[in-house]
């Protein structure tokens, strides 16, 4: 099966700085890469996703990049705010599995005011 | 629209007792997933259903765990007998095949299980 590795496990930044979280995957057939944000006491919530036919996708302060050759993808958060503090998970899957996601171990992001 | 609804939100039980977790997926979704989250193992897929039929239960830890989906709007995850190592947050999630959203999975708020 797929193996997704995520780094770093913890990340602390000052408010207004950028944060980058990186993931690698092992299955070259994976073609869908979502990112989830999990706040304390809540379930993971999808914040952005990217498919293998594009290299970058942006949504306001959040962007994701994908390098299929190297089998890695990254989440970029610019102008971080304290409310961005949460655990972020990357995931990967093949479209044929229709949602059977393989998750990274998560990154605890802390944004200091 | 209501999201994925799970109950109970919190459960504290004694070792050896039966635990039943419940889930109502988002209406119209044909995939339902049960995940378990622990500090040691992260998010693990236990089992998932498509159109109420179990597709992959390879993540179910052992025979003490069982899951059912009697209809499109209800699923249960049962642990019998429960053990302290089953303490975790159990998430139910659902998705819809063929939608423009693709493989987007929507998670419930989780059931926090503590076995003492």
Share of chain B above pLDDT 70, in %: 94
Least confident stretch, A1-5, A51-55, A89-93, B29-33: A51-55
Judge whether B77 and B20 are in contact, CB under 8 Å.
yes
Cα within 13 Å of Cα(B104), Cβ side: 14
**Pairs of residues, one from chain A and one from chain B, whose beta carbons lie less than 8 Å apart:** 56
In the sheet that B74-79 helps form, which strands lie side by side, from edge to edge?
B5-7, B19-24, B74-79, B65-71
Q: What 3-state class would DSSP assign to A113?
A: coil
Which of B48, B104, B108 is nearest residue A46 as measured by Cβ atoms? Answer: B104
- Judged by CB atoms closer than 8 Å, whether chains meet at A44 and B42 is answered as no
pLDDT of residue B79: 97
Chain B residues whose CB is inside 8 A of the A103 CB are: 42-43
pLDDT in tens, A2-12: 899 999 999 99
Q: % helix / strand / coil in chain A, to the nearest 5?
A: 5, 55, 40
Chain A residues whose CB is inside 8 A of the B50 CB are: 98
pLDDT of residue B76: 98
pLDDT of residue B74: 97
Whether omega before B81 lies within 30 degrees of 0, making that bond cis, reads yes
**C-alpha angle with apex B72: B69 to B76, nearest 5 degrees?**
30
Mean pLDDT of the region B10-36: 96
pLDDT in tens, A64-109: 999 999 999 999 999 999 999 999 999 998 865 565 789 999 999 9
- Judged by CB atoms closer than 8 Å, whether chains meet at A44 and B48 is answered as no
C-alpha distances out from residue B73 to B7, B29, B38, B83, B109, Å: 14, 9, 27, 29, 17
Q: How far apart are CA A37 and CA A113, in angstroms?
A: 20
- Judged by CB atoms closer than 8 Å, whether chains meet at A43 and B109 is answered as yes
Confidence of residue B99 (pLDDT cuts 50, 70, 90): low
Judge whether B45 and B97 are in contact, CB under 8 Å.
no
- Judged by CB atoms closer than 8 Å, whether chains meet at B31 and A104 is answered as no
Judge whether B88 and B113 are in contact, CB under 8 Å.
yes
- Judged by CB atoms closer than 8 Å, whether chains meet at B95 and A43 is answered as no
């Amino acid at each position: 099966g797929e193996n997704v590795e995520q780094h770093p496990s913890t990340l602390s930044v000052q408010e207004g700085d950028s944060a980058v979280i990186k993931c690698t995957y092992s299955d070259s057939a994976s073609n869908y890469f979502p990112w989830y944000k999990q706040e304390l006491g809540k379930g993971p919530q999808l914040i952005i996703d990217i498919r293998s036919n594009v290299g970058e996708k942006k949504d306001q302060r959040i962007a994701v990049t994908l390098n299929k050759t190297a089998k890695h993808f990254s989440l970029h958060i610019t102008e971080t705010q304290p409310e961005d503090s949460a655990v972020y998970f990357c995931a990967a899957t093949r479209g044929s599995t229709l949602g059977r996601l393989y998750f990274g171990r998560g990154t605890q992001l802390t944004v200091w005011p | 629209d209501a999201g994925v609804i799970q109950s109970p939100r919190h459960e504290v039980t004694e070792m050896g007792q039966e635990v039943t977790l419940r889930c109502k997926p988002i209406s119209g979704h044909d995939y339902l997933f049960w995940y378990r989250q622990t500090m040691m193992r992260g998010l693990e897929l236990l089992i998932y259903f498509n159109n109420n039929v179990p597709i992959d239960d390879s993540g179910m830890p052992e025979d003490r765990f069982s899951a059912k989906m009697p209809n499109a709007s209800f699923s249960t995850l049962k642990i019998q007998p429960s053990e302290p190592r089953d303490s975790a947050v159990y998430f139910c999630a659902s998705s819809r095949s063929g939608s423009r959203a693709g493989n987007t999975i929507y998670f419930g708020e989780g059931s926090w299980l503590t076995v003492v």
